[in-house]
A and B are shown apart, each in its own frame.
Chain A
Amino acid sequence: KQEVTQIPAALSVPEGENLVLNCSFTDSAIYNLQWFRQDPGKGLTSLLLIQSSQREQTSGRLNASLDKSSGRSTLYIAASQPGDSATYLCAVTLVTGGFKTIFGAGTRLFVKA
């Protein structure tokens, strides 16, 4: 059974700091891994998608890596800003007939001005 764990559960950093969010999963037979951002009371915004054959993806100040063999992914945020404050969720998608996505519990990030 696939389980997704995110560490830390919460993080508070000063503005301008670089930071790393961690995601681990128990079964390496994934189809893809996606990082999302969720603001309070809102839906999820897709940040980065890494296909199982890829090692990393970059978008602006965000970089996500994937190591299937160790069951780990990291989301690197450079030069953090107060607007980055949100909950960040990691999700792995499996192919079992159709698609099935399992989410981690998220990391709540607070960036202090």
Chain B
Amino acid sequence: KAGVTQTPRYLIKTRGQQVTLSCSPISGHRSVSWYQQTPGQGLQFLFEYFSETQRNKGNFPGRFSGRQFSNSRSEMNVSTLELGDSALYLCASSPGGREDGPQHFGDGTRLSIL
């Protein structure tokens, strides 16, 4: 069974630009969560999607948005990039139903803002 796939692995952008990251969950998993990991703040929850609906979100500004498609693949978009957005962005998937299972993580997208 293929794991969680995140693309691209590395990305370099400049301030003010926007970026879209992609996440393909494990087959059959309907819940996709996104996290930001930085040395100073650790792993912080961005949002969770289930069946194309955002069910939960963390404390990030509106520049951070996401969506989920009917095949459970998810994208995360960050607009008007700031230097502080440099981080490893991780995606995780799980079955998402009433009896949820462990979250499985991708290897992440490392975003660098110049």
A residues whose Cβ falls under 8 Å from a Cβ of B? 31-32, 34, 36, 41-46, 49, 89, 91, 93, 96-106
Contacts and interface: CB of A to CB of B under 8 A. Distances in A.
Interface in B87-114: 90, 92, 94, 96, 100-108, 110
Given A42-B107, A46-B103, A49-B102, A100 B50 contact: no
Contacts of A93: 100, 103
Contacts, number: 66
B107 A98 contact: no
Nearest to B58: A100
Nearest to A96: B56
B55 interface: yes
A97 B55 contact: yes
